[in-house]
Amino acid sequence: MASLYSPQSQAGVLSFYDAPSRGPKINPKVVIVFVVALALIILVIDHFIYV
């Protein structure tokens, strides 16, 4: 019986994630900054609505 961690399965996963994808390339730092800024904006707006 084949092991769950056989080299063939690992190679398949690596080739799947290494495959080139279409779409915009966004730096992860930009995404994190955008999410934090959006959360802060929502918190400020929520504060002013319920005061």
Domain that holds residue 38: 26-51
Within 13 Å and on the Cβ side, how many CA atoms surround 31? Answer: 5
Asked, for residue 32, whether it belongs to a domain, the answer is yes
CA end-to-end distance (rounded Å), the chain: 65
Asked, for residue 18, whether it belongs to a domain, the answer is no
Token digits of residue 5: 């961690």
Token digits of residue 41: 């904006």
Q: How far apart are CA 33 and CA 39, in angstroms?
A: 10
Asked, for residue 19, whether it belongs to a domain, the answer is no
Name the pTM for this structure.
0.55
Asked, for residue 3, whether it belongs to a domain, the answer is no
Asked, for residue 12, whether it belongs to a domain, the answer is no
Structure confidence by residue, pLDDT tens digits, 1-51: 455 555 555 555 555 555 677 878 889 999 999 999 999 999 999 999 977
Per DSSP, 1 falls in state: -
Which pLDDT score, from 0 to 100, does residue 18 have? 58
Asked, for residue 35, whether it belongs to a domain, the answer is yes
Domains identified in the chain, total number = 1
Token digits of residue 21: 């994808």
